[in-house]
Structure 1
């Protein structure tokens, strides 16, 4: 039997009893990995080799993971500091324990988030209690990090522990396909009978034709049924397609686009919306505060008007919140949790001057929220913000706007549900039916701005407003069942490549 040189080398390096990985086979045959791989599959097609494929998962510590091997996990350090402070008997001030635990920057939030999850104790009203029966020395996540750092591999480590460490960015999970090779009976027979190296060429040249050398060589066989390399051309991301279509639809309905900062003063993000400063959504648990100097250029008169609305309300029947209000907090900067901060800037006249009705404005911009990741929530997503200022607006006008808007996307089964917002009254949520699962998905929130929002801004007309989720609109139009398939580190590339170009 005559075979090409690379195939002869691979056949001689393979074993009939032991599975040999292709990369090791390439080394023993003194071939490039890609050449060895091609030869292996050609020999498999001739039934001389068997190829077995297995999925291999390997774990590698990240830089943060290696640091915690040396210094212990933040929650472990917090628990030990709590016990040393006597929190296993009586609760102690959280700040005292955090200082003693030598936690720095983001380690504080990491420690607090995992402290309760692991049953180390409770955190309530700024005080921390420690469970005396907890065993921080037996923490399975810490043990797993030490095992992997020692080079022992992930065998024997619980999958849930590995998944948790990956989600915490302490481990990198690397998945790859390992192919191993064994000689078939036909391959063994061929070697016993003798395999010779054939001089092969993969193309016919002018020199071979003129010299007649083509008559003495063997031409490489081509498998015309083999899969051709898949070429993935570039295309506009499905979310960008949806965003551009939304913009065109709203411009066609007479709206103008708003622009503004992603990082803004809490004043614009929440205070102007009549959100009390002690509202749970304004704590460090739910907002991304930035460690930067506070904003200085807020309109003084507007600040006074907003503070007065918070403290005393608006109008004869206004009552306000009777809760703390701090101008320092209002000037503090955070990533915006909604693009309604842009609406406040425009309605107040700060951005484009005083506006006379009728006015229609919108934005399609990114917002940031400390949500729990699931099929319909991300830490950052795109919001379709919009508002209309006019005389004698009603909820019917607002609902009619949504009906007209969503009809442009083939969505005609919008449902409305009454809701409460601190900044709109009346308020309602919007739901759309998923085309694949039939499940109702919340796609937005809306309402009529309250007097407590409009009066401090100097607006004397009705304003209806909404915030819609771009990703959830894309889910309804593409059939995606998980928002994480659309963008982010877990995006489904096959889904994105195969999604129909709709715009």
Structure 2
């Protein structure tokens, strides 16, 4: 019998009396493991070897998990600090509890995202409460971490391991171990003697040029044999969705705008006719900067016009807010809570100079809000900002634009709900039906800009605008039920690797 050199080497390294792993066979035969594996499957098909497989699992703690083994899970440290501060009796300011817990940086976000999820208490309007009935000693994730650290991970509950895996605290690997044993036919052929056949694994340019390919013997390939899993790099699923949104809006005649993530409150809120004493502008809801604290200058004429609109209103029937308006507050710097600050910069002429109607602009950029973390909220998110400047725009134009946009993603079940915004009238919230849960979830906010916003910016025609959540669109298009699976500290890497965005 003639066999390729790799198969001969594997046969000679195998035994009829014991199972030998492919790695051991490869080392003895001086072959790469993948070459030995391929040869073993080919010999198995020929009945000369028997290949058996078993799966082994291994769990390792990440560096982050090892820190938690020493110091405790962030949510447990937060709970202990909350109880010490008396939050089990009355709500306590969250900043006080976070300071007492010693948590900092990402650990704060992690603690907040898991605190309510585990039932340790509630976080509302900057205050934290602690459930006196909660039992931190019964925390399954903490128990599983300790067990893994002590080498007793086999006793950890499967659900706890799954939660730790979702949090990126453990690395679970499953390895398929293949072993081979000589069959009776394999022993017989070895005893009879096996010759090495000269075979070729692939065609080369030299073979084609010389004509040698016509006389050589090619090795057979088992295309059904298992191959090593390769996880290639790919674009983040949200980035893919953002690019599809860009294609859709550019196809509808829009052009893209960009602007600063850190901006003056003047552009973020004041230009939007948002009163300075509005609850959304307090220090609990915005991310203000310490260094630098404020911008040096604002466009003088524009700042005066915006202040006048706030104090006195616009037009003969305008009244304004009759509330405090402070130039220093308008100059204060913060992370933008929405990308409508870009719209204000463009409409005022600050970004590109004066714009003549008709105009269509959009952006897909990050916004930052101090929201309570849940399945549909994170501290940062991508907003699809858009606006149209033209004469005689109506609500029908606004609704028609949304209908055309969402139909490009296969989303036809959308609803409009009247809403209040300081800067638009009329205003509408948009809702879309989740394909898995069937519930209507909020996907955006929209309206026609009010004269109190447009007049100070020097715009004398209609402007309809909207802010849509890219993550919510992603949920409707893919069926994802928890945005924390897509990005954030609890991101599901397998979801990102395998999810296909279809519409």
TM (norm. structure 2) is 0.73
Q: Which SS does the other structure have where 2:31 is aligned?
A: coil
Q: Which moved more, 1:413-422 or 1:228-237?
A: 228-237
Q: Which SS does the other structure have where 2:252 is aligned?
A: helix
Q: Which SS does the other structure have where 1:345 is aligned?
A: helix
Instruction: Quickly say closer, same or farther: Cα 1:481–1:366, change in 2 above 3 A.
Output: same
Partner in structure 1 of residue 197 of structure 2: 200
Output aligned runs, 1:289-300, within 5 Å.
292-296=291-295, 297-300=297-300
Instruction: Quickly say closer, same or farther: Cα 1:349–1:169, change in 2 above 3 A.
Output: same
State the 1:359 CA deviation. 3.4
Instruction: Quickly say closer, same or farther: Cα 1:159–1:378, change in 2 above 3 A.
Output: farther
Output aligned runs, 1:273-312, within 5 Å.
273-275=272-274, 292-296=291-295, 297-300=297-300, 302-303=302-303, 305-306=305-306
Residues 71-113 of structure 1: CA distance to partner in whole angstroms, max 9, x if unpaired? 2222322333344445555655544433332222333343344
Contact persistence 1:250–1:362 (CA under 8 A)? no
Partner in structure 2 of residue 464 of structure 1: 464
State the 1:344 CA deviation. 0.7
Output aligned runs, 1:263-278, within 5 Å.
263-275=262-274
**C-alpha RMSD of matched pairs (Å):** 5.0
Q: Which SS does the other structure have where 2:119 is aligned?
A: coil
Instruction: Quickly say closer, same or farther: Cα 1:48–1:150, change in 2 above 3 A.
Output: farther
Contact persistence 1:93–1:126 (CA under 8 A)? yes
- Unaligned stretches of 5+ residues in structure 1: 209-213
Instruction: Quickly say closer, same or farther: Cα 1:437–1:259, change in 2 above 3 A.
Output: same
Partner in structure 2 of residue 395 of structure 1: 395
Partner in structure 2 of residue 38 of structure 1: 38
State the 1:388 CA deviation. 1.3
* C-alpha distance in 2 between matches for 1:130 and 1:463: 47
Partner in structure 2 of residue 420 of structure 1: 419
TM (norm. structure 1) is 0.73
Q: Which SS does the other structure have where 2:155 is aligned?
A: coil
* C-alpha distance in 2 between matches for 1:53 and 1:375: 43
Partner in structure 1 of residue 387 of structure 2: 386
The equivalent position to 1:178 in structure 2, one of 176, 179, 190, is: 176
* C-alpha distance in 2 between matches for 1:272 and 1:56: 61
* C-alpha distance in 1 between matches for 2:233 and 2:9: 37
Is it true that 1:136 corresponds to 2:141 in the alignment? no
State the 1:55 CA deviation. 6.1
State the 1:441 CA deviation. 7.7
Instruction: Quickly say closer, same or farther: Cα 1:494–1:85, change in 2 above 3 A.
Output: closer
State the 1:449 CA deviation. 0.8
Contact persistence 2:38–2:225 (CA under 8 A)? no
Partner in structure 1 of residue 490 of structure 2: none
Partner in structure 2 of residue 79 of structure 1: 79
Partner in structure 1 of residue 61 of structure 2: 61
Is it true that 1:367 corresponds to 2:366 in the alignment? yes
Instruction: Quickly say closer, same or farther: Cα 1:401–1:72, change in 2 above 3 A.
Output: closer
Is it true that 1:149 corresponds to 2:149 in the alignment? yes
Instruction: Quickly say closer, same or farther: Cα 1:91–1:241, change in 2 above 3 A.
Output: closer
Instruction: Quickly say closer, same or farther: Cα 1:438–1:14, change in 2 above 3 A.
Output: farther
